[in-house]
Structure 1
Amino acid sequence: MKTHQTLPGVEIQDCGQKVGLNGVDNGALRFRSVRIPRDNLLNRFGDVSRDGKYTSSLPTINKRFGATLGELVGGRVALAYSSVGVLKVSATIAIRYSLLRQQFGPPKQPEVSILDYQSQQHKLMPMLASTYAYHFATVYLVEKYSEMKKTNDEQLVADVHALSAGLKSYITSYTAKALSVCREACGGHGYAAVNRFGGLRNDHDIFQTFEGDNTVLLQQVAADLLKRYKEKFQGGTLTVTWSYLRESMSSYLAQPNPVTARWEGEDHLRDPKFQLDAFRHRTSRLLQSVAMRLKKHSKTLGTFGAWNRCLNHLLTLAESHIETVILAKFIEAVRKCPDPSARAGLKLVCDLYALDRIWNDIGTYRNVDYVAPNKAKAIHKLAEYLSFQVRNVAKELVDAFELPDHVTRAPIAMQADAYAQYTQVVGF
């Protein structure tokens, strides 16, 4: 305020101290009876002449709307990608500490790393698998965003708009919860400010609100899904991300095969086709059922009332669709990996991600008899076994993020002399 002189009618107010990101100087701006010079109009896509006539270089409403959205989605793309970066840092700190920290063990034998405990594996290994899944999904999102900016293709603009809203919402919400899990997994040392979980958590927390509240963004995804669902029955086309709804939605909505519902062999459960079919079956059923519910309630409650009555269902639908996209991109990345050894490692991590997600929503699959009780039990058992297998390569998996010590900046995550550096920092 000492170095910025305001003009008459212009007021600036600082927003004050925030929970985090206080290096970003947020403020409020107010204009009172201020005339904006015509040279300062925000008129990139449209203009208003002195006599009040509107003109635009873009010929249609859809093109103008698409161009405007194209300017908004960049922030969501960046937040989704950045949130994965935060998740990589926090997972690296927690897993390296869990490999280093030894506690208890069999009688008269050396103590074991706490990552050898099944409970610690249950906390961190599915998270590590999710980190890889989100990495490939956001790389795909950045590629589609870049293509959109080059072409301004209407369909691509709409696709990237919905995809960026969904991935930003889903990933930032996941990372916010994962930061607390990582902190708890490191015990008291995780509570030390120098090990960064508190700072990461505070600075990242706003990601759930930046560029749109996550709950609102998920509603945008659900609305777009319903629009595509309606177009499907009117002979319309679907963009690539939604194509599974067009290509084989009828098969996903068919009654589950009672034979395959009982298959519990490892080869079947680790088959990408089974995994992706399961995700798509859930999304297709959620989409069909919420469309019917909205139609029913709108007759008595109106459009707004029906939407509000089905809101939790709509949010679940959006999350299910985003998980389906994430898995599809992960499976594709595994298939395209040129190195056999690396591909085997990625396949292991991909299988853990898929089966952990299925198990976390096993009630949905059981309710429609998509998975028989014995198969549900086999999924849970295999997911735990895959967590154990991923634990055996956890060091290599986090090292592959290539995060140097000056980026992680947590003493307990140092690749050498971690305890010595930690005790030195805290004054011992």
Structure 2
Amino acid sequence: MNFIEELPNGPLDVYRKRASFNWKLLKLNLEGEDCIISQAKLWKFIKSNPEFQHANESLSLNATRRRCYRQLNALSKIEGDIFDAWSHWLRLYDPSIGPLRRIGQSTIAEGILDLGTERHRELAQKFFDVRFIGCLGFTEIAHGSNLKGLQTTAIYNPQTESFILNSPNFKAAKCWSGLLGKMATHTLLYAQLITPDNVNHDLHPFIVPIRDPETHLPLPNVIIGDLGEKIGLNGVDNGFLMFKNYSLPRRNLLNRNADVSKDGKYIAIMENRSQYFGTFLSPLATGRMGVTIHSTMFSRLALTIAIRYCACRKQFGPPGKEEWPVIEYQVQQTRIFPHLAALYAWTIFGYNLLRMKEAESKKLKDQKNLIAKNLEIHALLSAVKPLSTWTTQQIIQDCRESCAGHGYLKASRFGEIRDANDAAITYEGENTVLIQQASQWLLKQYDNFQNGKAIASPFETAKFIPNSEYILSLKFNLSTVEDTFKLDHLLLMLKWLICYYLKKTYIHVKKMKINGSNSFEVRNNSQTYFARPLSLVYAEHAVVETFITRIEDRVFGDSERKVLTKLCALFAACSLEKRLDDFYVGGYASENSKLQFLIRDGIISISQDLVNEAVALIDVLAPPDFVVNSPLGMSDGKIYKHLEDILFKDPKNFEPPSWWKEIRSNL
């Protein structure tokens, strides 16, 4: 394990020596040698490269963007196809760099290959080779989540064998597209395809040149503007885009699923037209998977800073005794350690998503099975992306508060991390809208089951549905914390919750339909206490089930498996604790069962156990100090030395303001 760097000595040694496991061995078995070596190469590269040295002062918007693109160029010169493996880790250093590469090259190129045909293959390669830079053209000023309401039109003209693109008004301007503001040469555009017979065939994808690669100016009949400074992620240039009678060659329609002949006839490739829309949105599925993993990186960074700080920061203590590190206080443990458990749960789930994606990309694409898989993955990601980003936002906030006033310094990095994750709650699907899609898929599977049809769940995330009535008949009959916190018991309780909300929502929806509500009213009026919690519990169950499966991997030794089991149990129990009332109302727990006491006592007990493990657990996932870049979270634990260095580094901190006379003269 020589490829894993040693950590420096310091105040954190006290807790590192108390750990019951070897942190290097857990890191190796959790992430794998190849992954660790790849990370090490990245960290070594950025630490030694001049483009990645930390700025001494705040940069302007223009300087921030220039810096990020220069860093991207430096990374692009590295030999070998290694960037995709690095894109997730780069979020820990600067959350803007990954999207610049991912959107500009990979997302667009992969979208062209997924949605286009052989005639587009050469074009896709130009994005991989960085000869072109792309952006996604989904959202419009007046329509974001409702993609079917987009107004940009592509009307086919058989005389010129081209589509005429138009934005009918400013509300139809494409907006929020990353890299569009200043750099993109092309957009993967979604527009309403209209044939010469004046039939609107709904949304279709096109690859559209928008800037001249030689002059970098917008092409004729294209208007491009910048959205300006944002709350965060300012290394990414977001913009808006409008078309005025822009002529696009017919070949630029991405025609894997539908085409238009030279004379203007619409050609349906797929038999089931209702499945068209889902197949057109493959870039979003990839994006949502990435967002889930990236949010976990923000949690990783926030918890690295908070746990190391709390293990060194001393306040109060028993009378006549030395002050305690604040990590020893119960309120701090129950605030931070459930988040540490969530970090491990989401980290393991993210790695599993990547393995699923890789495995599926290697399989032959049987169209019928592919559709079922795409629908299930879409449902799963529509649930886990909101849950992961909301979870991360709460983690960052609690970590900031746990570091008290020092956590409010810009140098702590909490503000930067929080603002970066904040965007993820909205992009790739606004969370509140997105989770509705997961519940719709679950209700469809439940309806199939109720009507004697097979459920379509090739990834088995809904395999519990045929047993739902049996699961709902079960009663809680455990009497000890130890039994309650066995992983199979906690997982069963999560299954019960899914079945409870699934049946409850199904009955509610059916009743509204009987009473004459239309489909829009049914969907709108079944969210807050029905479909929404159904989707979130579905996501929690999937994460816990993945965690349990990973723990069973024989690669882990007894000490590693023991601590991972505690983390999994804590994550599951905290998910259940939020919905204790449901167990009583739904009849799973009786008034005398003491379920609430057992769950809460267990959460406190495991949190106390993790005091000795927390620093080593965060060492497993923490990036090196150059990447952490926070005086509160350095691996040596010398928080006051690093704070002093930062505060004394800038001479301006000791100078009167240039405007002091102006203010004094008015007193």
TMscore range, shorter length: over 0.9
Do the aligned residues in 1 keep the contact of 2:551 with 2:561 (CA within 8 Å)? Answer: yes
Q: CA deviation at 1:177?
A: 1.8
CA distance in 2, matches of 1:51, 1:300: 45
Do the aligned residues in 2 keep the contact of 1:170 with 1:319 (CA within 8 Å)? Answer: yes
SS of equivalent residue, structure 1 residue 29 = strand
Which of 461, 464, 468 in structure 2 is aligned with 1:249?
A: 468
Of residues 242-251 and 96-105 in structure 1, the stretch that sits farther from structure 2 once superposed is: 242-251
Do the aligned residues in 2 keep the contact of 1:69 with 1:157 (CA within 8 Å)? Answer: no
Q: CA deviation at 1:108?
A: 1.8
Whether 1:264 aligns to 2:479 is yes
Do the aligned residues in 2 keep the contact of 1:176 with 1:205 (CA within 8 Å)? Answer: yes
SS of equivalent residue, structure 1 residue 236 = coil
Q: Tell me which residue corresponds to 1:167.
A: 384
SS of equivalent residue, structure 1 residue 314 = helix
Whether 1:235 aligns to 2:453 is yes
SS of equivalent residue, structure 1 residue 84 = helix
Q: CA deviation at 1:44?
A: 4.3
SS of equivalent residue, structure 1 residue 336 = coil
Q: Tell me which residue corresponds to 2:569.
A: 351
CA distance in 1, matches of 2:356, 2:335: 32
CA distance in 1, matches of 2:382, 2:225: 30
Which of 584, 595, 610 in structure 2 is aligned with 1:375?
A: 595
Do the aligned residues in 1 keep the contact of 2:386 with 2:434 (CA within 8 Å)? Answer: yes
Q: CA deviation at 1:348?
A: 1.0
Q: Tell me which residue corresponds to 1:138.
A: 350
Q: Tell me which residue corresponds to 1:22.
A: 234
Q: CA deviation at 1:63?
A: 6.9
Q: Tell me which residue corresponds to 2:552.
A: 335
CA distance in 1, matches of 2:569, 2:306: 22
Q: Tell me which residue corresponds to 1:87.
A: 299
SS of equivalent residue, structure 1 residue 55 = strand
Whether 1:192 aligns to 2:409 is yes
Structure 2 counterpart of 1:168, which letter?
Answer: K
Q: Tell me which residue corresponds to 1:208.
A: 425
Q: Number of paired residues? A: 424
CA distance in 2, matches of 1:122, 1:71: 39
Larger Rg: 2
Which of 611, 627, 633 in structure 2 is aligned with 1:407?
A: 627
| Residues 32-47 of structure 1 mapped to structure 2, 5 A cutoff | 32-47=244-259
Which of 583, 590, 605 in structure 2 is aligned with 1:365?
A: 583
Q: Tell me which residue corresponds to 2:489.
A: 274
CA distance in 1, matches of 2:278, 2:224: 32
CA distance in 2, matches of 1:250, 1:285: 9
Distance change >3 Å, CA 305–CA 43, structure 1 → 2: same
Do the aligned residues in 1 keep the contact of 2:258 with 2:266 (CA within 8 Å)? Answer: yes
Do the aligned residues in 1 keep the contact of 2:548 with 2:568 (CA within 8 Å)? Answer: yes
Looking at secondary structure, tell me which structure has more helix per residue: 1
Distance change >3 Å, CA 407–CA 241, structure 1 → 2: farther
SS of equivalent residue, structure 2 residue 324 = coil
Residue deviations 1:106-142 (CA, integer Å, cap 9, x gap): 1221111101000100110001001111112222222
TM-score under structure 2 normalisation?
0.61
Do the aligned residues in 2 keep the contact of 1:218 with 1:318 (CA within 8 Å)? Answer: yes
Do the aligned residues in 2 keep the contact of 1:123 with 1:181 (CA within 8 Å)? Answer: yes
Of residues 121-130 and 297-306 in structure 1, the stretch that sits farther from structure 2 once superposed is: 297-306
Q: CA deviation at 1:369?
A: 3.3
Distance change >3 Å, CA 18–CA 402, structure 1 → 2: closer
Structure 2 counterpart of 1:349, which letter?
Answer: L
Whether 1:390 aligns to 2:610 is yes
CA distance in 1, matches of 2:223, 2:395: 40
CA distance in 1, matches of 2:632, 2:622: 17
| Residues 208-227 of structure 1 mapped to structure 2, 5 A cutoff | 208-227=425-444
Do the aligned residues in 1 keep the contact of 2:334 with 2:603 (CA within 8 Å)? Answer: no
Q: CA deviation at 1:154?
A: 2.2
Q: CA deviation at 1:211?
A: 0.7
Q: CA deviation at 1:303?
A: 1.8
- Of the two structures, which has the highest relative contact order with CA contacts closer than 8 Å and spacing of 6 or more? 1
Whether 1:322 aligns to 2:534 is no
SS of equivalent residue, structure 1 residue 427 = helix
Q: Tell me which residue corresponds to 2:524.
A: 308
CA distance in 1, matches of 2:625, 2:402: 20
CA distance in 2, matches of 1:267, 1:213: 40
Structure 2: runs of 5+ lacking an equivalent: 1-181, 184-214, 650-667
CA-atom RMSD in angstroms: 2.0
Q: CA deviation at 1:302?
A: 1.9
Q: CA deviation at 1:225?
A: 0.3
CA distance in 2, matches of 1:323, 1:137: 11
Residue deviations 1:198-255 (CA, integer Å, cap 9, x gap): 011111111001110001110000000001111122321342333433342121122x
Q: CA deviation at 1:65?
A: 4.8
TM-score under structure 1 normalisation?
0.94
CA distance in 2, matches of 1:301, 1:58: 32
Do the aligned residues in 2 keep the contact of 1:69 with 1:161 (CA within 8 Å)? Answer: no
Looking at secondary structure, tell me which structure has more strand per residue: 2
CA distance in 1, matches of 2:627, 2:600: 36
CA distance in 2, matches of 1:252, 1:51: 58
The share of aligned pairs that are identical, in percent, is 30
Residue deviations 1:43-87 (CA, integer Å, cap 9, x gap): 344321121223366565477555424332000000001111111
CA distance in 2, matches of 1:199, 1:333: 32
Q: Tell me which residue corresponds to 2:506.
A: 291
CA distance in 2, matches of 1:63, 1:303: 19
SS of equivalent residue, structure 2 residue 587 = coil
Whether 1:424 aligns to 2:645 is yes
Of residues 409-418 and 120-129 in structure 1, the stretch that sits farther from structure 2 once superposed is: 409-418
Structure 1: runs of 5+ lacking an equivalent: none
Q: Tell me which residue corresponds to 2:315.
A: 103
Which of 294, 306, 326 in structure 2 is aligned with 1:114?
A: 326
Distance change >3 Å, CA 7–CA 243, structure 1 → 2: closer
Of residues 262-271 and 168-177 in structure 1, the stretch that sits farther from structure 2 once superposed is: 262-271
SS of equivalent residue, structure 1 residue 400 = helix
